[in-house]
Structure 1
Amino acid sequence: MENFDYDLQSLQETRNLARQAKLAQTELAKFDCEQIDKIIRNMVKVAEENAVSLAKLAVEETGFGKVEDKTFKNHFASTELYEYIKPMQTIGVINDDKVNKVVEIAEPVGLLMGIIPSTNPTSTTIYKSIIAIKSRNGIVFSPHPSALKCTLQAARLMNDAAVAAGAPANIIGCISKPSMAATNELMKCDEVDMIIATGGTAMVKAAYSAGKPALGVGPGNVPAYIERTANVQKAVKNIITSKTFDNGTICASEQAVIVEECMRDQVIEEFRRQGGYFMTPAETDKVAKNLFVRGHAMNAKFVGRSAAVIAESAGITIPPGTKVLLGEQKGVGKDYPLSFEKLTTVLAFYTVKDWEEACDVCIKLLKNGGVGHSLSIHTENPEMAMKFASKPVFRILVNTPSTQGGVGASTGLAPAFTLGCGTWGGSATSDNVTPMHLINKKRVAYGIKEFAENTTPSACVAQSCSSSDISEDQIMNVVNEVIALLKKRGEN
């Protein structure tokens, strides 16, 4: 009876949130650029003021990651994001093509539903709130149950900051009684116009099957290829920097390292020097058994955990200061568990003969759960980077930490915590999602070409003949007559 009551309350709360946010959004749609910018600036200010407390709350509640890195993510999702999107035109006339006489006018999508993962709860909530308001949309969040408190707090802070700066009340909402029934209700309710889904594969698929426009993000399984011309010391540093950032909770983090035989020993030595521990086959097996449940599903107990925690749980001894654990794999697929995505401080390690074999392994890894997402390559050969640009991914990250590169912190990509995987990965976009993905475009198009009605009587019509009686010469004569008539009118 208690569960039944909870579900009813959860459904009712969801319906109320959707109705309230929809009403608020119809008012927000009337705001101008200055009003919207004032609201966003206050949201950024409040996000910065609470960056540390939200990070602490997220780590305490989920057990995932590090406070200092989640603090940076909160900063990145607010201040860095704002600097990037500030010049974006999302209101009124956004393009006026004088030559073709087409005027483009931005209109909001309406009410968004934001699905929030447990791995990056507060930063994703801040990010989605800001891009929603920038494009004059309302948003209601469905939090992951294991990250409810921190997601709810981030959403409340963003809503209060927006309202304090002039936004309509309830423009940003969040389910406080999460349930699958509530999430499904929000996905399908009439008020919601679009879904932005960041989370597990099943949740993203559910979003796409809800009968609404959706922007979903599939998993990453990022291969990192250290090519023979690479600066090995820098490449290893980048990989460790990325993989240890928030203990590997971002889907753009590296999952496997691929090296050529000619530099294998050099790379292994450099990893060891910088804090990598190469597990024995027996140790690799122990760690893999702990990391996964139900085949290759990640065990939540070990998401975003330090190398020391993972090693201790597996009963293996590692040197003090170890940052990442590496396990050699001879293949890809269910018999090689580390070939799957691991949102924690563990990497698979592959040795190949040459770049062609590296390419083959990268493709297999991507098809093993990361098609369309990202690929990392470390090389001093621009031609090699372009060879890998033909692989089935939409972010080819060169000589940079993959985590920071994928989200736009160390590259020129748009700052985002929703990274599209394109149709190859089952996503509606291959972009880093920005406010420009959350607008509709009206087009006012003026006539610029004269289109004359065909008034030339055809021989066929005059003679009331059937189409089978028309000769090719007759057809060409009619066509030529029409062309000559149009040219004559054009000259006049």
Structure 2
Amino acid sequence: METFDFDLQSVQETRNLARQAKEAQTQLAKFNSEQIEKIICNMVKVAEENAVSLAKLAVEETGFGKVEDKTFKNHFASTELYKFIKPMQTVGVISDDPVNKIKEIAEPVGLLMGIIPSTNPTSTVIYKAIIAIKSRNGIVFSPHPSALKCTLQAARLMNDAAVAAGAPANIIGCISKPTKEATNELMKCDEVEMIIATGGSAMVKAAYSAGKPALGVGPGNVPAYIERTADITKAVKNILVSKTFDNGTICASEQAVIVEECIREQVIEEFKRQGGYFMTAAETSQVAKKLFVRGHAMNAKMVGRAATVIAETAGIAVPPGTKVLLGEQQGVGPEYPLSYEKLTTVLAFYTVKDWHEACELCIKLLKNGGIGHTLSIHTENPEMAMRFAEKPVFRILVNTASTQGGVGASTGLAPAFTLGCGTWGGSATSDNVTPRHLINIKRVAYGIKDFTENTAPSHSVCGAQGGSTGAISEDQLMNVVNEVISLLKRRGDN
């Protein structure tokens, strides 16, 4: 009975949150750009002031990642994001084309639903709250149950900061009694106009099945190819910086390292020198058994853990200072468990003959759970980078750490924690999601071609093949008919 009551309470709370946030958003839609800017600035300020405390809370509650890296993510989701979106026009006339005489006017989408993952709970709340308000939308968050406290705290801080700067009350909400029923209710309630889903494949699929617009992201089984011309020391350093950042909890982190035979030993030695530990076949099997449950689903207890912790759990002795565990794999699929996404400090390691074989392997890995997301290549050959640009992903990161590159920290990509995978990955967008994805665009279009009279062209566009197709008057038509009749009569007389 208690469980039943809790479910009912969670559904009712969700309905209240959606109604309140929708009322608030209706008011926010009337705000001008100066008012929105003031609100955003205060949200960024409060996020920065609480970056460390939120990071500590997230690590304490979930056990995932590292405080210093989650602190950076909170900073990136606020200050760095703000720098990028500050000049972005999302209110009023956002474009005026004097040649085609079209004015574009931004309109908010309305109320958003934000689905929050346990791996990046506070930074994703900050990021989604800021891009929602920038585009004059309200948002209600559905937290992962294992990250409820930190998600709630981040949402409260963002709402309070927004309201203190002039936003309507309850513009940002968060479910405090998370249940499947509550999440489903929020997805389908009339007040919600769009869903932004960041989480597991099942959750993203549910978002797209809710019968309304959704921006969802899939998993990122990122291959990292070290090509023969690469700066090996730099490539290994970038991969380790990326894979150890928050202990591999960002979906853009590398999952498999691919090297050519001719540089294999150099790469292995460099990984060992920088803190990589190459497991034996038996050790790889032991670790894989700890990493996965129900086939290739990640064991939550192993998500975002240090390599030393994973090794100890699997009963493996590793040198002090080990940063990442690497296991050699000979193929892709169920028989090779490390060929799947691993949101922790473990990498698959593959050796190929040449770039042709690397291409084939990258495609297999992407189709094994990362299609459309991200691919990383380390090369000093620009032509090789463009060859890999043909692969089925929408982020091809060259000579950079994949985690930082994918979210826009080390590249010129838009700062974001929602990375679209395009139609290949089942997403509605292939972009890093920004406030521009959260607006409707209204167009005022002036007439620039005169259609007040019958102005049918005298010749077909395809007239070169079909000859003249000029308009024929009734008199001309009758003359042709009379000529044909006269001709037939003369033939009959003869």
TM-score by length of 2: 0.93
**Partners of 1:445 and 1:321 in 2: CA distance:** 63
Q: Who is 2:479 aligned against?
A: none
Q: What is the CA distance between 1:427 and its match in structure 2?
A: 0.1
Whether 1:479 aligns to 2:470 is yes
Q: Compared with structure 1, are the counterparts of its residues 476 and 260 closer, same or farther at alpha carbon in structure 2 (3 Å cutoff)?
A: closer
The residue correspondences of 1:240-251 to structure 2 (distance < 5 A) are 240-251=240-251
In the TM superposition, residue 374 of structure 1 has moved relative to its aligned partner by 0.2
Deviation at 1:479, TM superposition (A): 3.4
CA distance in 1, matches of 2:356, 2:267: 19
Amino acid at match of 1:155: A
> CA shift at 1:481, angstroms?
5.5
Aligned Cα RMSD in Å? 1.3
- The separation in 2 between residues aligned to 1:287 and 1:88, in whole angstroms, is 46
Cα 1:243–1:477, aligned 2, differ >3 Å: closer, same or farther?
closer
Q: Return the offset for 1:451.
A: 2.1
**Aligned residue type for 2:265:** D
Runs of 5+ unmatched residues, structure 1: 457-471, 483-492
- CA shift digits 1:152-175 (9 cap, x unpaired): 000000000000000000000000
Amino acid in the other structure paired with 2:91? I
- How far apart are 1:450 and its partner, in Å? 1.4
SS at match of 1:479: coil
1:402-413 equivalences under 5 Å are 402-413=402-413
* Structure 1 segment 61-460 matched on structure 2, within 5 A: 61-451=61-451, 453-454=453-454
The alignment covers a number of residue pairs equal to 465
CA–CA distance in structure 1, aligned partners of residues 118 and 468 of structure 2: 70
Structure 1 residues 227, 481: closer, same or farther in 2, change over 3 A?
farther
Distance 2:454 2:415 in 1: 53
Q: Distance in 1 between matches of 2:217 and 2:114?
A: 12
Shifted more, 446-455 versus 308-317: the winner is 446-455
Counterparts of 1:3-22 in structure 2 under 5 Å? 3-22=3-22
One-letter amino acid matched to 1:434: T
What secondary structure, in the 3-state scheme, does the structure 2 residue paired with 1:225 have?
Answer: strand
Counterpart residue type for residue 111 of structure 1:
L
Provide the C-alpha distance between the structure 2 equivalents of 1:479 and 1:336, rounded to a whole number of angstroms.
69
CA 242–455 in structure 1, closer or farther in 2 if over 3 Å, else same: closer
Greater CA radius of gyration, 1 or 2?
2
AA partner of residue 437 (structure 1): H
Structure 2 distance, partners of 1:308, 1:224, is: 23
**Offset from partner CA, 1:5-62 (integer Å, 9 cap, x none):** 0000000000000000000000000000110000000000000000000000000000
| Paired residue type of 2:434 | T
Give the alignment of 1:26-41 within 5 angstroms: 26-41=26-41
Render the CA deviation track for 1:378-427: whole Å, top value 9, x for unaligned.
00000000000000000000000000000000000000000000000000
Q: CA–CA distance in 2 between the matches of 1:479 and 1:91?
A: 48
Partner Cα distance (1:187, 1:181) in 2: 10
AA matched with 2:368 = N
Structure 2 gaps, min length 5? 457-462, 474-494
How far apart, in 2, do the equivalents of 1:230 and 1:452 lie?
Answer: 64
In the aligned structure 2, how far is the partner of 1:382 from the partner of 1:19? 53
User: How far apart in 2 are the matches of 1:374 and 1:478?
Assistant: 53
Query: How far apart in 2 are the matches of 1:451 and 1:211?
Result: 40
Give the residue type in structure 1 aligned to 2:155. Answer: A
* CA apart distance, 1:293: 0.4
With over 3 angstroms needed to count, the CA separation of the structure-2 counterparts of 1:378 and 1:477, relative to structure 1, is: closer
Give the secondary structure class of the aligned counterpart of 1:112: strand
Match of 1:459 in 2: none
Quick one: distance in 2 between partners of 1:481 and 1:140?
A: 64
Once the two structures are TM-superposed, the CA of residue 224 in structure 1 deviates from its matched residue by 0.2
Q: CA deviation at 1:452?
A: 5.1
Does the C-alpha gap of structure 1 residues 447 and 481 become closer, same or farther in structure 2, counting only changes over 3 Å?
farther
- Distance in 2, Cα, partners of 1:452 & 1:39: 49
C-alpha distance in structure 2 between counterparts of 1:233 and 1:253, whole Å? 18
Aligned partner of 2:484 in structure 1 is: none
Distance 2:413 2:258 in 1: 24
**Which 4+ runs in 1 deviate beyond 6 A?**
none
2:483 counterpart residue number: none
Separation (CA, whole Å) in 2 of partners of 1:273 and 1:478? 77
Letter in 1 for 2:134: K
Query: Percent identity between the aligned chains?
Result: 86
2:481 equivalent in structure 1? none
SS of residue matched to 2:470: helix
Q: Write the distance in 1 (CA, Å) between the matches of 2:470 and 2:169.
A: 63
Cα distance in structure 2, aligned partners of 1:291 and 1:16: 40
Report the Cα distance in structure 2 between the residues aligned to 1:322 and 1:237, rounded to whole angstroms.
14
Instruction: Give the Cα–Cα distance (whole angstroms) in 2 for the partners of residues 94 and 454 of structure 1.
Output: 36
Kindly provide the amino acid, as one letter, of the partner of residue 342 in structure 1.
Answer: K
Please give the alpha-carbon distance, in whole angstroms, between the structure 1 residues aligned to 2:380 and 2:180. 49
Aligned mates of 1:405, 1:117 — CA distance in 2: 20
Distance 2:452 2:36 in 1: 46
Q: CA deviation at 1:281?
A: 0.1
Rounded to whole Å, the distance in 2 between the matches of 1:374 and 1:107 is 31
Q: Counterpart of 2:192 in 1: which secondary structure?
A: coil
TM-score by structure 1 length?
0.93
Amino acid at match of 2:340: F
Q: 2-side partners of 1:476 and 1:341: how far apart?
A: 61
Shift of 1:64: 0.1
* Letter of the structure 1 residue corresponding to residue 150 of structure 2: C
In 1, distance between residues paired with 2:453 and 2:278? 76
Listed one character per residue, the Cα deviations across residues 246-268 of structure 1 (whole Å, up to 9, x for unaligned) are 00000000000000000000000
> What is the one-letter code of the residue matched to 1:8?
L
Alpha-carbon displacement from aligned partner over 1:352-400 (angstroms, at most 9, x marks no partner): 0000000110000000000000000000000000000000000000000
Q: Whole-Å Cα distance in 1 between the matches of residues 52 and 125 of structure 2?
A: 15
> CA separation in 2, counterparts of 1:138 and 1:454?
49
Say which SS state the counterpart of residue 193 (structure 1) adopts: strand
161 and 479 in structure 1: CA distance in 2 versus 1, 3 angstrom threshold? same
